[in-house]
Structure 1
Amino acid sequence: MSEKSFEQALVELEQLVKELENGDIELNEAVKKYNEGMKLSAHCHELLQEAEEVIVKLMKDDKLEDFTE
């Protein structure tokens, strides 16, 4: 999973959500897709946190104020 870019993972997550919302899949398959979606969501969250850390570091290096609060 860690090889996927944020954009790739987000597209896959959006597709899984559409499939689950459609409701035309069996329970076992829905549970598998839900689990996969949770992993994709966690991966996206991790990538966003990493990006935020880089941005905050760059702002501090440039002596810019942190406007995230």
Structure 2
Amino acid sequence: MDNYEELIEKLENIVNSMENDELSLEEAMKNYEEGIKLSNKLYKILNEAEGKIKLLSENGEIDFNTE
């Protein structure tokens, strides 16, 4: 299974390809579909991380003050 950083890199490569390369409609649709799948995986990873942070916090949520 890919980690967060690897998934972000794959998504960035897809975005760069779609912005900079002349793709056929079929290629663009394939890239778009793959990008959506990667985005969903990334969203799931972030939600799981948020849930773990809340569980580890005594108050349910932590204020991350930089002061």
Identity %: 35
Pair 1:29 & 2:27 matched: yes
Rounded Cα–Cα distance in structure 2 between residues aligned with 1:52 and 1:42: 15
Where does residue 11 of structure 2 map in the other structure? 13
Where does residue 54 of structure 1 map in the other structure? 52
Rounded Cα–Cα distance in structure 1 between residues aligned with 2:60 and 2:29: 44
Unpaired runs of 5+ in structure 2? none
> Hey, which bits of structure 1, 4+ residues long, moved more than 3 A?
none
RMSD: 1.6
* 1:20-55 Cα distance to aligned partner (Å, 9 max, x none): 111411110000000000000000000000000000
